[in-house]
């Protein structure tokens, strides 16, 4: 394992930001923005690995598995953030996608010094959740060396879980044992070692893409609409009504009434409209069609559907 952190890309000095403390504020912003512009291209270069990870996650989630994100500091917070957004966006149970951060919940709002240095804690966190062969564990470490993350990945592998590693340091790839490695190389940071910047942005893009692509594969998106959302607050009720209106052509009042019958579930409401069935039959048909609304709408008529 690499022991000299000064050799890591994420720890090197950026020649393009030298002397930044002598620049005007506008020029500082320009330098940061120019560096940020490099991130999307770095992520794109890893698109095949991201797609493979999304397919792997979809495969495991489809059969009742779970997706775990494990990280420390910024990486951990980004994992928790992505996991927390899945239930309201895609109607997933909170247990399906989970975020694990070194230091626990308090580390989300305040740095917990030293928490990332204990590999045993990472392993214990994975064991507590009983990660196993049906699950996927994604380790996130900008520098690639975080003991908490590596301990978690090692425990996940021993338990038979699929493993994915996300890092911005190319130097650690050869020392990493994971089923899939996603390594967007964004280069040194504007402020040396501040991986909350480009590395954090790259990580956010990777995780957004991974879960979004997996949820699309699971049938939770119709066209480009989040039809599996549950209307649990005013914003989501309005969005659900607009989704039903958009897909069915119904006026808002009718869409609202249909959603009430569908218990706030946009996908079910849309299928109830097109197939002229009730809630239970709509859910049954969706299950038979692998939760694909497009397939369920066009499926051959069933006899005695109620």
What residues act catalytically? 85, 116
Three-state secondary structure string covering 13-24: CCHHHCCHHHCC
Instruction: List average pLDDT for each run of 10 residues in the chain, which is 306 residues long.
Output: 79 95 97 97 98 98 97 96 94 96 91 88 97 98 96 97 97 95 97 96 98 96 92 89 96 96 94 95 94 91 52
Q: How many CB atoms lie within 10 A of CB 137?
A: 28
Distance from C-alpha of 231 to C-alpha of 219, rounded to nearest angstrom: 18
Distance from C-alpha of 255 to C-alpha of 47, rounded to nearest angstrom: 38
pTM of this prediction? 0.92
Question: Are 151 and 123 spatial neighbours (Cβ–Cβ below 8 Å)?
Answer: yes
The per-residue pLDDT for 302 is 59
What structural domains does the chain harbor? 5-217 (3.40.50.10490), 234-298 (1.10.8.1080)
The per-residue pLDDT for 5 is 83
Q: DSSP states of the chain as a string?
A: ----GGGSGGGS--GGGTTGGGS-HHHHHHHHHHHHTTHHHHHHTTHHHHHHHHHHHHHHHHTT--EEEEESHHHHHHHHHHHHHHHHHH---TTTEEEEETT-GGGGTS--TTGGG-HHHHHHHHHHTT--TT-EEEEE-SSS--HHHHHHHHHHHHTT-EEEEE-S-GGGGGG---SEEE-----S-SSTT-TTTHHHHHHHHHHHHHHHHHHHHTT--BTTB-TT-B--SHHHHHHHHHHHHHHH---HHHHHHHHHHTTTBHHHHHHHHHHT--HHHHHHHHHHTTT-HHHHHHSPPPTT--
């Amino acid at each position: 394992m690499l022991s000299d952190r000064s050799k890591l890309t994420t720890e090197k000095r950026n020649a393009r930001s030298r002397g930044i403390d002598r620049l005007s504020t506008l020029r500082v912003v320009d330098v940061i923005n120019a560096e940020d512009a490099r991130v999307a291209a770095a992520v794109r270069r890893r698109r095949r690995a991201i797609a493979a990870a999304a397919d792997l996650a979809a495969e495991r989630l489809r059969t009742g598995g779970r997706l775990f994100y494990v990280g420390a500091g910024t990486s951990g917070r980004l994992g928790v953030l992505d996991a927390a957004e899945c239930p309201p966006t895609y109607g997933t149970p909170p247990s399906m996608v989970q975020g694990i951060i070194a230091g626990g919940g308090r580390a989300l709002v305040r740095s917990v010094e030293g928490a990332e240095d204990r590999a045993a804690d990472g392993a214990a966190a994975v064991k507590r959740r009983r990660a196993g062969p049906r699950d996927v564990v994604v380790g996130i470490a900008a520098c690639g060396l975080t003991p908490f993350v590596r301990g978690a990945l090692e425990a996940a592998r021993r338990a038979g879980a699929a493993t994915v590693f996300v890092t911005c340091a190319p130097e650690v790839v050869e020392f990493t044992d994971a089923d899939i490695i996603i390594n967007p190389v964004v280069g040194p940071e504007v402020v040396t070692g501040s991986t909350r910047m480009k590395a954090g942005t790259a990580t956010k893009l990777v995780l957004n893409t991974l879960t979004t692509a997996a949820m699309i594969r699971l049938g939770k998106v119709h066209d480009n609409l989040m039809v599996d959302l549950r209307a649990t607050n005013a914003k989501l009720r309005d969005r659900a009504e607009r989704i039903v209106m958009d897909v069915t052509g119904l006026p808002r009042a009718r869409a609202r009434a249909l959603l009430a019958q569908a218990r706030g579930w946009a996908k079910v409401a849309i299928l109830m409209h097109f197939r002229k069935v009730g809630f239970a039959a709509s859910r049954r048909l969706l299950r038979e069609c692998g939760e694909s609304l497009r397939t369920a709408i066009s499926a051959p008529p069933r006899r005695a559907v109620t």
